[in-house]
């Protein structure tokens, strides 16, 4: 009787490498799949390593453009700052990886999909809900969650099965990275009173080591999408990666966050999002001059919901499409250019302009050019304040009445 087949999300690291012989022991042929979503992996090496530790097939997929255009762009336009601090890094790549895994599973006629997540993180939820949404007939396996080994036990198993144990095995950190950013946790950072150590960071210099001279970038947006950097048109994935470099060398985009995971615990995470930080800041400022007030005041409600939906692994729930339909409609007029000063960890917007700017200098000015009708204010104030005034009168909340 033939083996069952499992498609494994393969990173090249210890956990998913050990998973290959382990899955074989459970009776599966393993198809390894490794995606590049902008973390700068050596894909060839990873592809070979999978085969070397026992996979029957090994796929590598460059998904940078799809990730930028369909996932990172949503986070940018919707300002998806989870809990006002975490701009979604891993949460964005998981649904795309799940989609690719299911595509390979369908193509290779596989019975199951496997991921390398533990039982206490958010990513297991994101993977499993996405996979089941895309093909409910696939079994989902979580070897790391299931074997529940200590690090020592895992290394012992690796050695026994000829899985190379990396030299960095002593690193206390647990890292995930894509072009939108880098997440790091564990080790000393588990104590929220202790500052994250410098070695926890990988994409940014410290403010102390940032140059003493600022650098300026101009970003051009068309319908809420960055299309050019310093006047040069670039596709989005390249633009983000380029900005990661520029902003990273100025120490922009470090985040230290104690966040609420979906699985019910608080966890301390360190993020680096140099390019994303610049883009998110610039995009918001462009919206400040192009979105009508009523939209500007309601969009954050939609943004917060969309952040939670994506964080919580519900990318393939219909609510994501409906929330994004709102966002997309708002972006029609988000056209223009933003000038950003990068300096000592800051991304400071110094100027913004737009053909769709609703900022009207003639209405705003205090100079002689003033076109605003000051007399209108009297009637406005009377009716605007009427409910407040009536409530005070009726309920005797006035201080005293002459």
Please enumerate, by residue number, every residue annotated as part of a binding site for L-aspartate: 118, 122-123
Of 25 and 83, CB closest to its own copies = 83
Instruction: Output the known binding site.
Output: 9-17, 86, 116, 118, 122-123, 126, 174, 259, 271
The DSSP 8-state label assigned to residue 197 in this structure reads: P
Instruction: Output the known binding site for ATP.
Output: 9-17, 116
29, 36, 90, 123: the active-site residue:
123
Helix (H) or strand (E) holding 183: strand 181-185
Of 46 and 323, CB closest to its own copies = 323
Which two structure tokens, joined as six digits, stand for 45? 């090496």
> Taking Cα atoms as reference points, which of 64, 31, 402, 57 lies closest to residue 235?
64
263: phi then psi, degrees, rounded to nearest 5: -80, 10
65, 174, 256, 357: the active-site residue:
174
> Taking Cα atoms as reference points, which of 76, 137, 90, 148 lies closest to residue 110?
137
Of 44 and 366, CB closest to its own copies = 366
Q: Are 230 and 217 in contact (CB under 8 A)?
A: yes
> Taking Cα atoms as reference points, which of 72, 118, 77, 78 lies closest to residue 95?
72
Which two structure tokens, joined as six digits, stand for 184? 């790091």
Q: Where are the beta strands (DSSP E) in 312-386?
A: 336-343, 346-353
* Tally of helices (H runs) and strands (E runs) in the chain: 14, 14
Minimum Å gap between C-beta 78 and its own copies is 12
Q: Is 313 exposed, middle or buried (0-12, 13-18, 19+ CB in 10 A)?
A: buried
Minimum Å gap between C-beta 137 and its own copies is 5
Minimum Å gap between C-beta 97 and its own copies is 14
> Taking Cα atoms as reference points, which of 161, 133, 130, 136 lies closest to residue 147?
161
Residues 6+ apart with CB under 8 A from 322: none
Distance between CA atoms of residues 112 and 142, nearest Å? 10
Of 46 and 334, CB closest to its own copies = 334
Minimum Å gap between C-beta 174 and its own copies is 6
C-alpha separations of 213 from 11, 191, 197, 209 in Å: 38, 35, 25, 12
Distance between CA atoms of residues 278 and 244, nearest Å? 9
> Taking Cα atoms as reference points, which of 248, 243, 94 lies closest to residue 176?
94
29, 36, 93, 94: the active-site residue:
94
15, 29, 36, 176: the active-site residue:
15
Distance between CA atoms of residues 294 and 109, nearest Å? 50
Of 102 and 219, CB closest to its own copies = 102
Minimum Å gap between C-beta 249 and its own copies is 15
Of 167 and 399, CB closest to its own copies = 399
The answer to whether 288 is a known catalytic residue is: no
Instruction: Output the known binding site for L-citrulline.
Output: 86, 122, 126, 174, 259, 271
Of 47 and 177, CB closest to its own copies = 177
The answer to whether 15 is a known catalytic residue is: yes
Minimum Å gap between C-beta 208 and its own copies is 8
Q: Is 68 exposed, middle or buried (0-12, 13-18, 19+ CB in 10 A)?
A: buried
The answer to whether 174 is a known catalytic residue is: yes
Minimum Å gap between C-beta 173 and its own copies is 10
167: phi then psi, degrees, rounded to nearest 5: -65, -30
The answer to whether 256 is a known catalytic residue is: no
Catalytic annotation, residues = 15, 94, 123, 174
């Amino acid at each position: 009787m033939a083996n069952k087949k499992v498609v494994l999300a393969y990173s090249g690291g210890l956990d998913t490498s050990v998973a290959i012989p382990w899955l074989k022991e459970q009776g599966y042929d393993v198809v390894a799949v490794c995606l590049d979503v902008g973390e700068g992996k050596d894909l060839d090496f990873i592809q070979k390593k999978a085969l070397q530790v026992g996979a029957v097939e090994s796929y590598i997929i460059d998904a940078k453009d799809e990730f930028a255009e369909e996932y990172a762009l949503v986070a940018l336009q919707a300002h998806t700052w989870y809990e006002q601090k975490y701009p979604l890094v891993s949460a964005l790549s998981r649904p795309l990886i799940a989609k690719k895994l299911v595509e390979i599973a369908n193509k290779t006629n596989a019975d199951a999909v496997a991921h390398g997540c533990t039982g206490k993180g958010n990513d297991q939820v994101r993977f499993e809900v996405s996979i089941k949404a895309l093909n409910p007939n696939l079994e989902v396996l979580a070897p790391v969650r299931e074997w529940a080994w200590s690090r020592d036990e895992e290394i012992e198993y690796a050695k026994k099965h000829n899985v190379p144990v990396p030299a960095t095995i002593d690193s206390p950190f647990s890292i995930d990275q894509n072009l939108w950013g880098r997440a790091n946790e564990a080790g000393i950072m588990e104590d929220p009173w202790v500052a994250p150590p410098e070695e926890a960071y990988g994409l940014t210099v410290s403010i102390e080591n940032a140059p003493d001279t600022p650098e300026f970038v101009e970003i051009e947006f068309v319908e809420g999408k960055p299309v050019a950097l310093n006047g040069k048109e670039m596709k989005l994935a390249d633009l983000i990666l380029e900005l990661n470099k520029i902003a990273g060398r100025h120490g922009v985009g470090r985040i230290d966050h104690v966040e609420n995971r979906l699985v019910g615990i608080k966890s301390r995470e360190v993020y680096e999002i140099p390019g994303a930080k610049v883009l998110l800041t610039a995009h918001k400022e462009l919206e400040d001059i192009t979105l009508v007030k009523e939209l500007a005041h309601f969009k954050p409600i939609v943004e917060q919901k969309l952040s939670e939906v994506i964080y919580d692994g519900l990318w393939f729930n219909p609510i994501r499409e409906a929330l994004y339909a709102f966002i997309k409609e708002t972006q029609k007029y988000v056209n223009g250019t933003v000038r950003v000063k990068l300096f000592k960890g800051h991304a400071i917007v110094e100027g913004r302009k737009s053909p769709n700017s609703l900022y009207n200098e003639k209405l705003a000015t205090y100079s002689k050019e003033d076109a605003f009708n000051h007399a209108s204010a009297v009637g406005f104030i009377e009716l605007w304040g009427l409910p407040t005034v009536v409530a005070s009168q009726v309920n005797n909340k006035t201080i005293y009445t002459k």
